[in-house]
Amino acid sequence: MKKEPLLYSVTPFDLSGHRVRVRLTLRNPDPGGQSFSLPAWIPGSYLIRDFSRQIETIQASSRGKPVGIRKTANHTWLCEPCKAELDIDYTVYAWDLSVRGAHVDETHAFLNGTSIFLCPDGRSQEPCHVELCPPPQARNWKVYTSLPEAAGHPRCARRHGYGMYIAPDYDALIDHPIEMGTPQVVRFKAHGAEHEMVFTGVAPNLDLKRIAADVQKICAAQIALFEPRTRRAPFLDSAGRYVFMTMVTGDGYGGLEHRASTALMTSRRDLPVLGRDNAGEGYQTFLGLVSHEYFHTWNVKRIKPAAFAPYDLGRENHTRLLWVFEGFTSYYDDLMLLRSGVIDEADYLRMLAKTISGVQRAGGRFKQSVAESSFDAWTRYYKQDENSPNALVSYYTKGSLVALGLDITIRHASAGRRSLDDVMRLMWERYGRDFYTGAGTGVPEDAMADLIREATGVDTRDFIERHAYGREDVPLESLLPLLGIALNWKPASGGPTLDLRLRDSHGETQIATVYEGGSAHRGGLSAGDALVAIDGLKVNGAAGVDRLLAAYQPGDTVAVHVFRRDELRAFQLVLNAPGATECVLERPAAAG
Ligand code: ZN
């Protein structure tokens, strides 16, 4: 008997109440009692999120007759035995304005499959049909997704329309988020492959043409990096198109990668507007985010750590390799802006210097390697607190410096004949290109040194041991000059400092972080303390602290009054010179 695809029907039905109705229809359910589960996390964001919390109601029925259904664990349900077709009807509360969840209101619906699609246990390899239905209150909305239309189905959706879509299995089903609404849209082709950029949210006079022209160059450069001969875009294996779904807000920032699309959040002020030519660092930040998520189309969505092949969506999946999958991606995101010509070298060196300064500032890099940070992403990097700058290292930023160090090492040792590009291409050929159509195997945990040697002939085992699995800084002072770039440190500007991070909260100036070994740490201040006065003068906001301290010299002692909970406490602090130094990168002009 030929199995019918699993059938999902999705309707955002209560826009002001932020609710989505889903029906899952299952022919031939497990006669002993069918169980279902919802992912506990969304791939690309390494934190248990318990999406099942947002399922408000759930009922099961068969041919109109109720069937018992009950929860068996946090993310799982079990139906009573039932021999005929089984319908599961449930409502999902969708009011999470992030790239990771589901968000529905009167202006749009954004749906990640991990929030709305229950998986029948034992059936994750079967094809799925998804019927998207318009909200009754907003029938003019269109649909934007990389989920392919179900060609040949009698209710097949038209492009951007409602009706039937299809996914070959559950892993694909939850990897094509869906946007519905009336967004601003621009399209372009890169090496013949169709790309669509969708902007939701208020963004007056958005310069769509300029954005499309710049992003087109970035996409074309990345396709050519991985497929220099065929120039074939990777997502042609799953959908005929790539979709950038951008939510524009006042101050949002973030992105989440998928196999043929990405969900982005950006600040309105980072986007270029018509008739102005002054899109500056903010726009470069947006292009860097676009470049980062697009690079993931290869690196992590197809070239994956073995620990993610396949994902186990019910629990944490541990890997020590996020310094490769996030770190290398963070190295290439800005580099591809330079290579594609959307920024110049001065801009690139400014961005790189900022990354180097940031890594240098966090003392946590002496307590944790990027491999350890990767393994503990679930409980530490994704659960940051007041002490994180003292305790953690970022596998993104330090990982990108490890990639830079490897790239320079390879180029130097091979006299310019090989580079990290060759490593990416070998990983692409071996693990990525046929991931969804072939065996679907991932990169073994200990494979990087061997892969680099195979791709380039250069032995980097010692480098990787020291800088990725060990906690040593990447020696960029000696490596960057091999590229003709000078690295210098200049003292940070400003007056003496208490060595803490402040935030204004509920009318108080609170200590967010006390940097280990600094003035505040030595003097006894703690995160959470509310600053009241410095040498008897009232503290007026975080910015006011710098103004008060400007009258002093490093080495001076000041009296600091704080409220710790509701108790007034006094401390004597010896001020430090501005400890943080700033990295400056320059390519000295060639002599003569
Ligand atoms: Zn990333």
Residue 592 pLDDT exceeds 60: no
Determine how β-strand 567-574 pairs with β-strand 557-564. Answer: antiparallel
- Nearest Cα to Cα of residue 201 among 276, 271, 286: 271
Identify the band that residue 2 occupies on the pLDDT scale cut at 50, 70 and 90.
Answer: low
Q: How far, in Å, from the CA of 481 to the mean position of ligand 1?
A: 28
3-state secondary structure of 556: coil
Give the model's pLDDT for residue 325.
Answer: 98
Tell me if 75 sits within 8 A of 314, measured CB to CB: yes
Tell me the sheet residues that pair with 109.
104, 180
Burial of 591 (0-12, 13-18, 19+ CB in 10 A): exposed
Lowest mean pLDDT among 123-127, 177-181, 345-349, 586-590: 586-590
The fold of 183-279 is Zincin-like (3.30.2010)
Domain 500-574 has CATH 2.30.42.10: yes
Q: How far, in Å, from the CA of 526 to the mean position of ligand 1?
A: 33
Q: How far, in Å, from the CA of 482 to the mean position of ligand 1?
A: 28
The fold of 6-181 is Immunoglobulin-like (2.60.40)
pTM of the model: 0.96
Beta-carbon neighbours within 5 Å of ion ligand 1: 326
For 391-414, write each residue's pLDDT tens digit: 999 999 999 999 999 999 999 999
Q: How far, in Å, from the CA of 400 to the mean position of ligand 1?
A: 11
Where are the domains positioned within the chain? Answer: 6-181, 183-279, 298-488, 500-574
Give the model's pLDDT for residue 1.
Answer: 46
Q: How far, in Å, from the CA of 257 to the mean position of ligand 1?
A: 7
Q: How far, in Å, from the CA of 296 to the mean position of ligand 1?
A: 7
Q: How far, in Å, from the CA of 260 to the mean position of ligand 1?
A: 15
Identify the band that residue 73 occupies on the pLDDT scale cut at 50, 70 and 90.
Answer: very high
- As a whole number of angstroms, the distance between CA 366 and CA 352 comes to 21
For 281-316, write each residue's pLDDT tens digit: 999 999 999 999 999 999 999 999 999 999 999 999
- Nearest Cα to Cα of residue 196 among 266, 269, 130, 147: 147
Q: How far, in Å, from the CA of 261 to the mean position of ligand 1?
A: 13
Q: How far, in Å, from the CA of 347 to the mean position of ligand 1?
A: 21
Q: How far, in Å, from the CA of 403 to the mean position of ligand 1?
A: 14
Phi, psi angles (nearest 5°) of residue 339: -65, -30
Q: How far, in Å, from the CA of 262 to the mean position of ligand 1?
A: 11
Q: How far, in Å, from the CA of 328 to the mean position of ligand 1?
A: 9
**CATH for 298-488, options being 1.10.260.40, 1.20.1250.20, 1.10.390.10, 3.30.70.20:** 1.10.390.10
- As a whole number of angstroms, the distance between CA 262 and CA 175 comes to 9
Residue 140 pLDDT exceeds 50: yes
Q: How far, in Å, from the CA of 399 to the mean position of ligand 1?
A: 11
- As a whole number of angstroms, the distance between CA 326 and CA 322 comes to 5
Q: How far, in Å, from the CA of 515 to the mean position of ligand 1?
A: 27
For 362-381, write each residue's pLDDT tens digit: 899 999 999 999 999 999 99
Identify the band that residue 278 occupies on the pLDDT scale cut at 50, 70 and 90.
Answer: low
Residue 588 pLDDT exceeds 90: no
